[in-house]
A and B are shown apart, each in its own frame.
Chain A
Amino acid sequence: ETGVTQTPRHLVMGMTNKKSLKCEQHLGHNAMYWYKQSAKKPLELMFVYNFKEQTENNSVPSRFSPECPNSSHLFLHLHTLQPEDSALYLCASSQGGSSSYEQYFGPGTRLTVT
């Protein structure tokens, strides 16, 4: 158990649905991240929050909307997704937002868009 939990673990949604992914870290970290893991591709960083402030948005389509109400919780709001958005979505946290800290990952949410 890494101290980073994600819910739900599996999600199937239609292209017109709205859903949210939740991440919670119990490690006292100050930075949180969303990644997308697709088959045979490197992990893609989507969003970075450092002390609740978004510091990175790697050209992610607006159908993905992050929210970080506090340093322990991170959400990814999904709406009007496309089938190519099907992937494993990973949340991670680190002590700080610099390159000096390793990241701790949650188990991921397996998303299928139909």
Chain B
Amino acid sequence: AQSVSQHNHHVILSEAASLELGCNYSYGGTVNLFWYVQYPGQHLQLLLKYFSGDPLVKGIKGFEAEFIKSKFSFNLRKPSVQWSDTAEYFCAVMGGVYNNNDMRFGAGTRLTVKP
């Protein structure tokens, strides 16, 4: 079955620490990949996306993600987090062998940044 896995349910960091959130998917074929963020009390917002080209994708607010096809991974990174990055982060995948037009989400990772 096609699925999206986010390994960390809750990550707690201090300000200025580096961040890496894992995302793996089980789709075969060509996929489109997304990271969304949901700040407390706010709507889901797109952080970055990968459709094709350079596997290292830069998004808003200093976030980046790297698509590693051989590992079926699309991990999110930020070199130095800020208190304002406290939020829930969702990885999402579309496409695949079955050309699935559904956007399938991971369960989310809650990030808490301590000031």
Of B32, B36, B43, B90, which contacts A99 at CB under 8 A?
Answer: B32
Number of A-B residue pairs, CB cutoff 8 Å, is 53
B interface footprint on A3-43 (CB within 8 Å = 1, 0 otherwise): 01000000000000000000000000000010000001111
Q: Nearest chain-B residue to A44 (Cβ)?
A: B105
Count, chain B residues at interface, CB 8 A: 26
Stretch at the interface among A68-76, A79-87, A105-113: A105-113
Alpha-carbon distance between A108 and B34 when the two chains are bound, in angstroms: 20
Q: Nearest chain-A residue to B5 (Cβ)?
A: A42
Considering only residues 70-115 of chain B, those with a C-beta below 8 Å from chain A are 90, 94-95, 99-108
Q: By DSSP majority rule, is chain B's interface helix, strand, loop, or mixed? A: strand
Docked-complex contact A41 and B44, CB < 8 angstroms: no
Docked-complex contact A42 and B105, CB < 8 angstroms: yes
Question: B107 → chain A, closest Cβ, in Å?
Answer: 5
Docked-complex contact A98 and B43, CB < 8 angstroms: no
B interface footprint on A90-102 (CB within 8 Å = 1, 0 otherwise): 1010000111101
The chain A residues found within 8 Å of chain B, CB to CB, are 2, 4, 33, 40-43, 45, 48, 55-56, 58, 90, 92, 97-100, 102-108
